[in-house]
Amino acid sequence: MPQTIDLNTFHLKTYAIELPFTRLNLGVDNVRFDVFISSEFRKVTERFIFELVIKYAEASAPFIINPEINWFRETAEFQRLCTEILTDGVNRAKAQSEIQIDFLAQTALVKMLSEEIQNQYEEAIQHCKNVIRKHEFSSHAEATLKLREEVASIIQQRNQIIRNVGAELFEYFIEVQNDVNKLRTSNFGEDAKLPEELFSNPILQMSTHSDGFFMIENYVLMGHRLEDPVNYNTLINLLTAFLNQLDRQSDKSAPPAADKPSDSLKNYITAYDTRADGWIKHSDNIDKLFNYFQLTAELKKLRQRNANPKQIQNIKSKIKIQKKLLNLILKAISKENMMQGIVAAYKMRPVYERYCPPLSPQECLQYLVIPKARKNTVRKLKRFKKYFGRSFPLAPLKRTIRRVRMTTRGSQKKYLVRFLKDFSNYHRDLRNNLLIRECSDSIHIVTDEKILNLSRSNHCLYEFKLSYEDAFDKKPIINLAVLKADVRGSTAIIEQMKAKKLNPASNFSLNFFEPISKLLSLYGAVKTFIEGDAIILSIFEHEDAPARWYSVSRACGLAINILMIVRKYNKINRKKGLPRLELGVGVGFSNTPPTFFYDDESQIMISPAINDADRLSRCDKTLNQYLSKERLPFNVYEMQPALNPETSILFNSKTLRYNVKGIQLSPQGFKKLKKEIHLSQVECEIPEIENKPLTFYTGKFPTTAGNFQRLIIRESVIPEVSLKDLSIIGETENKYYEVTTNQKVYEHIKKIVK
């Protein structure tokens, strides 16, 4: 390798694409990313692709479902919906300041389209077979036979049909991408755009990327097998090593290369592979490095225009280097015995279709450049003569062999430059296809309703929808309030009702559960768990739905109404001579979404808000027995017992709680409430209630019906008390909060606060 060549003078471009999902949340299987794509869009796409398959299969009238299809209208509808899906992806990425969501949307859509092309081809074949079965009973045998032959031909043309469908479909997709790219760049800049060739990649629709017909049509004939005359793997190793050596000698910080120019380039391994690969994938670099024919033509024009001598000299210097580089790469490829195959791959194009089939393009190329392969090829052509009903004269192939052999060294160099550019595009598309496939494999397009609900509930579903499909309750949950009602006395009521031969189920249902159920929609609540002695209700807040961000205030308002229902229920029980229900309500809040899982069809929710609500709804038995004798102005009290090491082991909780017909709100819930509504602080004394200063907070919140309901929250310091007689020893630094239902407090507060 000449030591005078410096790659830095060529200003080579690096080709690199990344589709990172590293900052996104994995789905429910902890392996893939869960994606939901609009069901309506999927239906339209399936129908559109099916019609494209029938179109490119050139199916006859019996197989055509929609003979009067309006392609302009169908295409416009597909593109319109596709635009909505991709736009939704950009908007969701913008809302979360996360460009990877947009990458995920694009990749998921490509995955869906690619899979549907395969699926709809199979659907079309099945459709054709069903048509044939119907014809067997209503048509002549001859007509049925023709239909069978037609389907056999469609099956034989499978790759070509899928390729054509993919080419047209992704042409429409790219047009949509170009429109949506305007939105992307306005939000994220130019770097947010993925290159067009990532989606126009012909390999994307191929089950095998080394099909000879496909290679000739889109690139140049080469293969991946050892026996293929032009071997991709050998070439990529050789070209990578070639650029590595150039890069190494251009890197002044690198130690001198010990390799001689005659060393086999394919065995030269360095740490420069990644950079070399990026150069190879950019086909413009081939011209910059090797195409002195192009620069020579440019030099001629400059001389005709009497251009600047310095500019002319720079061009002449580059041409000299390009000639050296092209000679070196030609020599290396010739050592691998591939140069004749490269020339033959182009010169065979006018004649190969005469022999393929029955030959494959690779067999045709082998005949041209590998003498040992010719006898087998001739025998194969003779065998197939009777099947194809024609002969395969070898004269055109022999003339092609002579043309390959007579190719001058100058022409070989031109073919080599052309080949390297075709090779560059193929290598780029091959790697891009691998990237798309790997990213697609990491995506789970969810269609199963159970997985859909599970993933959505656990905040790990990425949804891309049409504009009219985006309902608020399908948006991810960001936090929640939980109301827990601890129902006490239901067992005694049930036993006494059974003793009197009354129906406890209908009694609870009509007078307790049904009235509560009717309230749920008014406060945006849902049932999490309901039994005779426990009611757990949840109010969720969803992303991008601020009009419903009143979870704590609505939970408090709902709790007040539940207490009113219990009071009415107890009046009915008193008339029937039945014991009363006793209720304690706790309201907890969590600023994180809950976790859901399923036991068969039952949904189970996990959240710290449930634990808080459960704790706040309870009432210490000893405390209940002691305080129930007192005429208490409020329904919730919390106190901290003074414990010594001997007595502390008897307590599971640091505080004692009294909650009878009361509603206790967690401190976290109170903080959230202050964000939801404007709370006025009221410091006052109400002698008819308690002879000491009281602290209240009050404000109004809207129900889902648009009505306003007032809340009054009592704030009190948790006192430290003696276990002996509950006398107050002192005050702690902690506070507790009661949603008060005392009517006298409401009347007093209304006079102070308008």
Domains of the chain: 33-194 (no CATH), 226-432 (no CATH), 476-607 (3.30.70.1230), 616-752 (no CATH)
> What pLDDT, in 10s, does the model give residues 193-229?
899 888 888 888 776 656 888 889 889 998 888 888 8
* Mean of pLDDT over the chain: 85
* CA–CA dist 684, 690 (Å, integer): 11
534 — pLDDT class (breaks 50, 70, 90) = confident
pLDDT value, residue 706: 65
Average pLDDT score over residue span 103-110: 95
Name 537's bridge partners.
483, 527
pLDDT at 319 over 90: no
One-letter amino acid of 4:
T
Question: Given the DSSP bridges, would you call strands 690-702 and 708-721 parallel, antiparallel or unpaired?
Answer: antiparallel
pLDDT at 325 over 80: yes
> What one-character-per-residue DSSP string does 421-485 give?
HHHHHHHHHHHHHHHHHHHHHTEEE---HHHHHHHHHTT-EEEE--GGG--GGGSPEEEEEEEEE
> What pLDDT, in 10s, does the model give residues 618-638?
998 888 888 877 888 899 999
Q: Which residue has the higher pLDDT, 58 or 581?
A: 58
pLDDT at 267 over 50: no
**DSSP for residue 630:** S
pLDDT value, residue 601: 65
Residue pair 561/741 in contact by the 8 Å Cβ criterion: no
138 — pLDDT class (breaks 50, 70, 90) = low
- Pick the range with the lowest mean pLDDT from 89-98, 570-579, 650-659: 650-659
Place of tokens 């640091």: 654
pLDDT value, residue 437: 92
pLDDT value, residue 262: 41
Residue 513: closest CA among 546, 540, 485: 485
* CA–CA dist 192, 50 (Å, integer): 32
Rg of the chain on CA atoms, in Å: 39
Percent of the chain with pLDDT over 90: 38
What is the token pair recorded at 471?
């309902």
One-letter amino acid of 608:
P
pLDDT at 605 over 90: no
Ranked by mean pLDDT, the top range of 119-128, 130-139, 355-364, 720-729 is: 119-128
- Pick the range with the lowest mean pLDDT from 8-12, 233-237, 368-372: 8-12
75 — pLDDT class (breaks 50, 70, 90) = very high
pLDDT value, residue 634: 93
pLDDT at 745 over 70: yes
* CA–CA dist 62, 134 (Å, integer): 10
The beta-carbon contacts of 19-26 under 8 Å, at least 24 apart in sequence, are 19/103, 19/107, 19/194, 19/435, 19/436, 19/439, 20/100, 20/103, 21/100, 21/103, 21/104, 21/439, 21/442, 22/100, 23/98, 23/100, 24/98, 24/100, 24/101, 24/104, 24/462, 25/459, 25/460, 26/460
pLDDT at 52 over 70: yes
pLDDT at 369 over 70: yes
Residue pair 551/533 in contact by the 8 Å Cβ criterion: no
3-state SS assignment for residue 690: strand
Buried-exposed string 173-204: b where 16+ CB fall within 10 A, e elsewhere? beebbeebbebbeeebeeebebeeebbbbbbb
| DSSP H helix total and E strand total for the chain | 26, 16
pLDDT value, residue 303: 82
> Any idea of the CA torsion for 380, 386, 389, 390, to the nearest 10 degrees?
40
471 — pLDDT class (breaks 50, 70, 90) = low
Average pLDDT score over residue span 672-698: 89
Ranked by mean pLDDT, the top range of 2-16, 17-31, 307-321, 377-391 is: 17-31
pLDDT value, residue 466: 83
1 — pLDDT class (breaks 50, 70, 90) = very low
pLDDT at 86 over 50: yes
Q: Which residue has the higher pLDDT, 327 or 723?
A: 327
pLDDT value, residue 472: 62
Average pLDDT score over residue span 174-201: 84
* CA–CA dist 247, 269 (Å, integer): 12
258 — pLDDT class (breaks 50, 70, 90) = very low
612 — pLDDT class (breaks 50, 70, 90) = very high
pLDDT value, residue 652: 55
Residue 432: closest CA among 118, 174, 204: 204
One-letter amino acid of 497:
M
Q: Quick one: which H or E segment has residue 711? A: strand 708-721
Average pLDDT score over residue span 612-619: 93
Average pLDDT score over residue span 345-362: 88
pLDDT value, residue 714: 95
- Pick the range with the lowest mean pLDDT from 276-280, 330-334, 502-506, 570-574: 502-506
Percent of the chain with pLDDT over 70: 91
- Pick the range with the lowest mean pLDDT from 1-15, 20-34, 505-519: 1-15
- Cβ contacts of residue 709 below 8 Å, gap of 6+? 557, 560, 700, 701, 703
